[in-house]
Amino acid sequence: MVFVIVDLEATCWEKSRDYRRMEIIEIGAVRMETPDGVPSAEFSEFVKPVAERRLTTFCTQLTSIRQADVDQADVFPVVFQRFLDWIGSDDYRLCSWGGYDLTQFRVDCDRHRVLFPTEFESHINLKMEFAAKFSVKSCGMKRALSLAGIPLVGTHHRGIDDARNIAKLARLILPTVMGLNE
């Protein structure tokens, strides 16, 4: 069983809007061959938004993703297919910090009439699992890293950097989720 730790960045506004208006602008992911293993591969690509093509100043400041980054990117169906190809044919579990990423994949698949992978249904919500394992209140990735004594590396709110950081937390959580620490 392979574990794909994913983190998405999406269009965003200072004042919240309907989540269905948000579009993925970056897919960052790392692959772990075992629940407690180190990442063996990475995927990082920008995605060109189509509904609201201009990134807001807020979005650029939050994510550090520039308009030029997404303007030069491919649209979601193309990048998503490359992501699925990168995952490959091995049995896998998609993991993310919270449920947002899974929801956003659904929204973008619907928007672009792309089939939502049935394998995504066995998604592991690492945020929820972290809170249960360590008997803490549900918290953001940055706080969880601090609680675990792990330094945040890279730029927070960049998909690939957050995926790398989440993978460090996943190594603490997944063995329990998979019943290896019983």
* 123/1 Cα distance (integer angstroms): 13
**Domains of the chain, earliest start first:** 2-177 (3.30.420.10)
In this structure, what DSSP letter does residue 146 have?
H
**Of all helices (H) and strands (E), which one includes residue 80?**
helix 76-87
- Flag whether pLDDT at 166 surpasses 80: yes
**Residue reference for tokens 């994949």:** 105
Classify residue 154 as left (phi > 0), alpha (psi -120 to 50) or beta.
left
pTM of whole model > 0.75?
yes
Q: Within a 10 A sphere around the Cβ of 134, how many other Cβ atoms?
A: 14
Quick one: pLDDT band at residue 180, thresholds 50, 70, 90? confident
Q: Are 35 and 77 in contact (CB under 8 A)?
A: no
98-156 pLDDT per residue, tens = 999 999 999 999 999 999 999 999 999 999 999 999 999 999 999 999 999 999 999 99
pLDDT tens for residues 35-91? 999 999 999 999 999 998 999 999 999 999 999 999 999 999 999 999 999 999 999
